[in-house]
Amino acid sequence: MTSIRFSPNPNQAHRIDWLPWTRSTFERAQAEDKPVLLSVSAPWCYWCHVMDETTYSDTDVQSVLARSFLAVRVDNDHRPDINARYNVGGWPTTAFLTPHGGLMGGATYLPPDQFLAMLMELEGAYRADKPQLYAQARDLLQRRREQARRVSAGAEVESSLTDRVSRIVAGAYDAAWGGFGSEPKFPNPAIVRFILHLYRVTGEEFYSAMLRKTLDGMAGSAIFDDVDGGFFRYSTAAGWSEPQREKMLEDNVQLARVYLDAAIILHPLHPELGERYRAVAGKTIGYLVNHLYDADARGFHGSQGAHSDYFGLDAGQRLLAAPPPSDPSCYTGPGALAAAALLDASWKLGQPELGRIGLEVVERIDDMALSGVFGHVYPGDGSPGVPALLSDWAGLLAGLMQAHASTAEPRYLERAVAVAAILADRFFDQSGGGFFDIEADGEAVGHLQVREKPMPENMAAVQALLRLHQTTRNEDYRELCEAALSAFVGVFREQGEFAAEFGLAVDLFSNPPVEVTVEGDPEDPACRELLDAAVRLGNPNLEIKTVAAGPALAHLCLDTLCLPPVTSPEALAEAAAGLEHQPVSPFQDILRIFPG
C-alpha cells in the first residue's frame, strides 16, 4: 500500500518523484550523496492539501528537488512511528534529513517562495558544511537515545501518584470555557475520562463542575456536528467556536464513551444533562457507524477530511450535498477500540446491532493476526500496509477483552491470552520495564533505530492487561503492568495534563478489582437499569461484564469474594457499599456482612 496521498483538489504535487520510506531509498541517497526531504502529510490535514496545491505544485520547487534532493512522502496515519520521531511541530511536517536519516532541520507549512529559499539554503549548506550538519544530526539522535532511556522501571508505584496527576490536570483546566489548556483547544477525551473517573470514585463536586463545564462547552458549540454527529478535531479559539473541521476516528470513539458514561453517572443528580449527554453519545456513535464503518472491509476508516465547504452548510443544504469522503484505509488498533466502544454501547443503549458490528470488527482484525497479515493498515483484501505497532496489539487486546466481557464467550479470552504473549515477547523491555512502540528491527533507518515508550500506548496496554489479570488471575500480567507503570514514575510530570492516562492506570492498579456481571436482555429496561447502577458504583477498579441470558440480575465480586445475585439497582448499590468496607478473606461469613 502506498503512503503517497495528495490533496483531493487539483494539484501537481504528483510530478515530484516521491519515494517510499525504505532502506533502499536511503542507500540511494548515500550513493548519490543527496539530502532527503521528508514530507509527513495526512489525508485529513487542510494545510497539507494547501501545500500540495501550491508549494509542491510550483515548478521551481520541483526543479530544485529533482536536482539536489531525494523526496520521501510519508502518511502520518499509515506511519505514526515515523511521524513521532520526525514531526517538527505539526502537519505538514517538512524535515530535512541526512542520507542516513539524521535530522538536520525542518518546518511546517511554507508557501512556495519561502520553501524555495529554504531549499536553496539547505542545498548550499549541505555542500559547504556537510560535516557540521552530520555532527548536529548525530547529536540529536544521541539525545533521543538518552531521552528514551530515561523511561525505566525502578520506582515504587504508589497510589498517591493518582492524586498528584489530578492536581496537574486541575491546573490546566479552563474555568471560563471548559476543557484543558488554551487555544487551540482540543477535546482531549483521555483527560475528560480521567475527570469522570475521579468524580465517580470521590463524588467531589469540584470534579463534577469541571466535567459538566467541559462536556456542555463541547456539545453546545460548533466543535460538535449536530447534523451528521461526531466532533471535529479542535477549535482555534478557546471557546470552542472556531472548529478545524476534520473528524478523527480515535477522538470520536473516546468521546462517545465519555459522554455515554457521563450520562449514566450524572443522571441521578442532573437528569436533564443525563438525557442530553446520552443523545450526544448516540449521535456520535451514529457518526462512527454511518460515516467511518466499512462493512465490506469490516473495519473503521481513520478520519473524514475538511477539504470542502460541506460542514459549513446548514442541515437542509447538507441533504443535497455530498459529504467529503473518509480516509479509504482501515486501521487495526483504532478499529479494535472502536469495536470495543460499540460492544459497550450496545448494552448501555439497548442496541444489540452495535454489538454485532463490534464483534465483526474484532474477529476480522483477530483473523488477520492469526493468519500472519497483521499490520497497522489494511484495505479490503487484508494485505498489511505497514508493520503492526504496540498500539495495534494493545488495541486488539482491548477489543478481545471487551468482546469477552460483552459475551462471556471463552474463545475471546483464549485469543486475548495469546495476544498478551505477543505484547510481552515483542514489545516489553525486559531490562527497563514498559513497552516499546515498535518491534526490534536491525534494518531500521535513522531515528527508527531508537525504540521509544510513549505513555498513551503504554497505558492502553496496561489497562488491557489489568482486565486480563482480573479475569485470569495470572499474576504475570499484573507484574508486567507494575513494571510498565514504574517506568513512568520519574517522568510523568513532563507530560503535564496529558499524564491523565497514567493517573487513571495507577488508580486501577492500586485498588482491588470489583467485578459486576449483569445478566439479561440488553433491550430490557430492567437490565439497563442494573447496568446503569453498576456504572455508577464508586469502586476505583470497576470491571463490568454482561451476559445475554434470562431475567435481569447482577452478580458482584470483590477480588475472589462473590455475593449472591441481586435484582434491583438499590440492592446492587447497597451490596457494593458493604463490600467496599470489609476486609477481604475467603473465610468470611458473608451472611453476617450482608444479613438478609
Given the C-alpha cell 514530507, which residue does it identify? 39
Asked if residues 69 and 34 have their Cβ atoms less than 8 Å apart, the reply is: yes
Average pLDDT value for residue range 542-560: 94
Q: How many residues does the chain have?
A: 596
Tell me the per-residue pLDDT of 356-387, one tens digit each, with 9 for 90 and over: 999 999 999 999 999 999 999 997 544 445 78
CATH 3.40.30.10 domain extents, the chain: 13-149
Asked if residues 11 and 57 have their Cβ atoms less than 8 Å apart, the reply is: yes
290, burial (CB in 10 Å: exposed 0-12, middle 13-18, buried 19+): exposed
Comparing 185-189, 254-258, 530-534, 585-589, which segment has the lowest mean pLDDT? 585-589
Q: Does the structure show a pLDDT above 80 at 2?
A: no
Between strands 243-244 and 103-107, the pairing is unpaired
Task: Kindly state the percentage of the chain with pLDDT values over 70.
Answer: 96
Asked if residues 92 and 108 have their Cβ atoms less than 8 Å apart, the reply is: yes
d(C-alpha 238, C-alpha 185), whole Å: 5
Superfamily of 13-149 according to CATH: Glutaredoxin (3.40.30.10)
Give the bridge partners for 18, in sequence order: 71
Asked if residues 56 and 11 have their Cβ atoms less than 8 Å apart, the reply is: yes
Between strands 299-300 and 293-294, the pairing is antiparallel
Average pLDDT value for residue range 316-334: 93
Measuring CA to CA, which residue among 460, 450, 302 is closest to residue 385?
Answer: 302
- What is the pLDDT at residue 581? 56
Which class does domain 516-593 fall in?
alpha beta
H-type alpha helices, 129-267: 130-149, 160-171, 189-202, 205-219, 249-266
Rama region for 435: left / alpha / beta (φ>0; ψ in -120 to 50; rest): beta
Average pLDDT value for residue range 175-182: 96
d(C-alpha 155, C-alpha 483), whole Å: 9
pTM of the model: 0.95
DSSP 224: B
SS3 (DSSP) at 549: coil
The mean pLDDT value of the chain amounts to 94
